[in-house]
Structure 1
Amino acid sequence: MSEENSIKPHGGKLVNRITKADPVGLDSITITEDLANDVENIADGIFSPLEGFLGQQDFENVVSKGRLTNGLAWTIPTVLDVDQETATKLKESGDVLLKNPEGIGVAILHVEETFTFDKENTSKGVYGTTDSSHPGVAKTLSMKDYLVGGKIDYIQRPEETEIRKYRLSPTQTREAFAKAGWKTIVAFQTRNPPHVAHEMLQKTSITTRDGVFVNPIIGKKKSGDFVDEVIVKCYETMIKHYYPENRCKLGTLHTEMKYAGPKEAIHHAIMRQNYGCTHIIIGRDHAGVGNFYDPFAAQKIFNDYPELEISPVFFPAFFYCRKCLTYTNPKACPHDDDAKEQISGTKLREMIQNGQAPSEFILRPEVSKVILDSSHPFVD
């Protein structure tokens, strides 16, 4: 793809930490599947400009200012936590092999430093709260006491699985966009199957742009969220039945939802800039959970990061209005709630668990069928 037709990666260049280094003789530690995914994301440049786990100065700057020490925007700490005994060993050994839960050595970590951190201060800085009912705070408070900083070299990808078949690197997405002839690409972040309102929001966004990159999060989610396999199958179905050819690209992003609201909205934008997207849709309560964030906080935070090359596309809530006879939003529709086809996540789960299909103005019938046919549509 010619450079003049592509948006620059965050920090100016795509990181590539894929190597053929030999891990023979190295001590090893086992990391979680989600952390193994993030190590792969670092290696592929999805997390550009990061080349590994944050060191202490960068970590503290991200928590307090939402930026790396060099001033580049970065809002979600990417870290490896270990106990004191492991931290001491790692500091002495220098290099360590990182194994995924299947026992595959995926990367070599070049240990540069180990340090302790304040979990409550970290929670407040990233999530805006220390309330342990927030899933991100609960995870932070349960972390081990030491963090390890250092660059990684990625040596072995996990086996290909059905859920990984749509995983794409920024090099691959940029090539795909170029092949499609797209110069303006709007990213759509999601952790749910597509409501018809989401579909309409995407289609409204590409009316004046070349295509949409639908990029569901695949990874650990909270109880009650849809499982990854259902999300992917629903999007396959929607794109097959309701999108014109060469206007929508599906690719999965394998990382854990943080539910960090505005801070995560910036993180989501940075990753999609690295993929080569020129725009990202930021809707109501983007990456939020419960009532922890103002519904439009994730839109307002972009005022603090004007230097990002990717442009946010802001939308209020979308819904079908039976009086307007169209999908619309509060800025354009004067009618009261009785005229609006809307459904809460809780109500949608109840209907599905009872074998009921929601209104066709909420979910496409083909999408409803995918969900209803699943024996296990929700995270326990």
Structure 2
Amino acid sequence: MSAATPGPIAPHGGTLVNRLDDGLTEGGRPRVTLSARQQADLDLIAVGAFSPLEGFMDQATYESVITGMRLPSGLAWSVPVTLAVQPDELDAIGDATEVDMVDESGRFLGVIEVTDRYETDQRREAGLVYGTEEEAHPGVASLYAHGTTCIAGPVRVAARLPLDPGAVPFLLDPAASRAEFDSRGWRTVVGFQTRNPIHRAHEYITKVALETVDGLFLHPLVGETKSDDIPADVRMRCYEVLIEGYYPKERVVLGVLPAAMRYAGPREAVLHAILRQNYGCTHFIVGRDHAGVGNYYGTYDAHRVFDDITREELAIQPVFFEHSFWCNLTGGMATTKTSPSSPEQRVFLSGTKVREMLDRGEIPPVEFTRPEVAKILIEAYSTA
């Protein structure tokens, strides 16, 4: 169920995994119900976005990842991908070697071949992966909401993750994105991740990166996020109008990543880089507080986490950017590397600030976002 695939860079581990099985049917096996995050993980395993994983991690792999940020093979991997089972389903599973996976409505998703069962210490995992045991952290809260007994093994997947209708037209699985890059003749591709509406700081760093490569893969995450994050369909419309008016369209591909946010800061930055390598990117943008939340991580922890990862462990090249801002002195976007301005001459941008302005009914100024994007956001908030 795995096959090599063309592209400017090999998938993580060398082969793009494919665990889709359209002919698979539900058939009298015990059931386990997957949460939204587990469904997203299953979908990413199925299409090879989580290559070289062919299923949910066993105990040896889990321990290797949470303690050393490596798979047992030595490849970089920073966040555990496990299938924790709720206590009320454990008795039904018993000693079964195959288990049906379903969603909360009972829809059949696929089958896991059970090769391992093990217990986890959630607080230990939280401290190692998220750097905190506090339930106020959304990733930790999600971890605690799952069970402590995991089943592991390779999967076969019959049903894909349902997406927001606004995101569906932009779904490119790794094989498809790689084929698209090949068709355009791109040998170097930089990927960009965000869960927020795109603003001027995003536009600036993606264009700076685009100066050095053949193409840009704008790849926003559209899986489960925090309740106060802006919906995927709104964010996709923002990307569309920005590409239409402000980017060279022939040098940009817009796709979506059907992953759930974990808000794991530096560890999630590494995971996001692995994902983009599997989608065919040779470079990956890592900005300020990548995948962070609250004050749990340092501003540039997501840069430093790559210091101890070699190109043999992870082939994609991270591209680091400092905090960018609108500079009133120079009249454009800049960072401290390019602007001599004083702090009071700088307008700092963030998705959080944009959301706060929209909550107050304020139109974000041009220093924050393009007028076309601001219009979409205001309309979305006024009808919410």
What TM-score, normalized by structure 1, do the two folds share?
Answer: 0.94
> d(CA) in 2 for partners of 1:97 and 1:3?
29
| 1:369 aligned onto 2:375 | yes
| 1:224 aligned onto 2:228 | yes
1:81 to partner: Cα distance? 1.2
> d(CA) in 2 for partners of 1:270 and 1:114?
26
Q: Is the 8 A contact 2:32 2:85 kept in 1?
A: no
- The count of corresponding residues between Structure 1 and Structure 2 is 377
Instruction: Tell me which of 3, 14, 26 is aligned to 2:29.
Output: 26
> d(CA) in 2 for partners of 1:83 and 1:34?
14
> d(CA) in 1 for partners of 2:180 and 2:328?
39
Number of the residue aligned with 2:282: 278
| 1:185 aligned onto 2:184 | no
Number of the residue aligned with 2:40: 37
Amino acid at match of 1:6: P
Instruction: Tell me which of 328, 332, 342 is aligned to 1:326.
Output: 332
> d(CA) in 1 for partners of 2:333 and 2:166?
34
The alpha-carbon distance between structure 1 residues 45 and 208, as it changes in their structure 2 partners (threshold 3 A), is same
1:187 to partner: Cα distance? 0.3
Identical residues among aligned pairs (%): 38
2:111 match: secondary structure: strand
1:346 to partner: Cα distance? 4.6
Number of the residue aligned with 1:15: 17
Instruction: Tell me which of 58, 62, 66 is aligned to 2:61.
Output: 58
Instruction: Tell me which of 71, 75, 79 is aligned to 2:74.
Output: 71
- Residue deviations 1:92-145 (CA, integer Å, cap 9, x gap): 221121112343212111111221111111001111121222111222223212
- Greater CA deviation, 345-354 or 226-235? 345-354
- Residue deviations 1:313-334 (CA, integer Å, cap 9, x gap): 1110111211112211011212
Instruction: Tell me which of 106, 113, 117 is aligned to 2:116.
Output: 113
Q: Is the 8 A contact 2:109 2:158 kept in 1?
A: yes
1:255 to partner: Cα distance? 1.1
- Residue deviations 1:40-97 (CA, integer Å, cap 9, x gap): 1101100001111111111111111111122221111111111345234324221121
Instruction: Tell me which of 135, 139, 143 is aligned to 1:140.
Output: 143
Number of the residue aligned with 2:358: 352
1:158 to partner: Cα distance? 5.3
Number of the residue aligned with 1:163: 167
Q: Is the 8 A contact 1:39 1:107 kept in 2?
A: no
Unaligned runs of 5+ in 1: none
Unaligned runs of 5+ in 2: none
- Residue deviations 1:286-339 (CA, integer Å, cap 9, x gap): 111111111111111111111211001111011121111221101121212221
- Greater CA deviation, 27-36 or 351-360? 27-36
| 1:86 aligned onto 2:89 | yes
The alpha-carbon distance between structure 1 residues 187 and 349, as it changes in their structure 2 partners (threshold 3 A), is same
What TM-score, normalized by structure 2, do the two folds share?
Answer: 0.93
- Greater CA deviation, 280-289 or 96-105? 96-105
Instruction: Tell me which of 40, 46, 49 is aligned to 1:46.
Output: 49
Q: Is the 8 A contact 1:81 1:143 kept in 2?
A: yes
The alpha-carbon distance between structure 1 residues 141 and 245, as it changes in their structure 2 partners (threshold 3 A), is closer
Number of the residue aligned with 1:99: 102
> d(CA) in 2 for partners of 1:93 and 1:212?
46
The alpha-carbon distance between structure 1 residues 344 and 123, as it changes in their structure 2 partners (threshold 3 A), is same
1:37 match: secondary structure: helix
- Greater CA deviation, 347-356 or 242-251? 347-356
Amino acid at match of 1:114: R
1:18 match: secondary structure: coil
Q: Kindly report the root-mean-square deviation, in angstroms, between the aligned alpha carbons of the 2 structures.
A: 2.0
Number of the residue aligned with 2:320: 314
The alpha-carbon distance between structure 1 residues 36 and 124, as it changes in their structure 2 partners (threshold 3 A), is same
2:175 match: secondary structure: helix
1:216 to partner: Cα distance? 0.6
The alpha-carbon distance between structure 1 residues 37 and 274, as it changes in their structure 2 partners (threshold 3 A), is same
2:167 match: secondary structure: helix
> d(CA) in 2 for partners of 1:107 and 1:233?
32
The alpha-carbon distance between structure 1 residues 347 and 85, as it changes in their structure 2 partners (threshold 3 A), is closer
Q: Is the 8 A contact 2:288 2:299 kept in 1?
A: yes
> d(CA) in 1 for partners of 2:48 and 2:383?
31
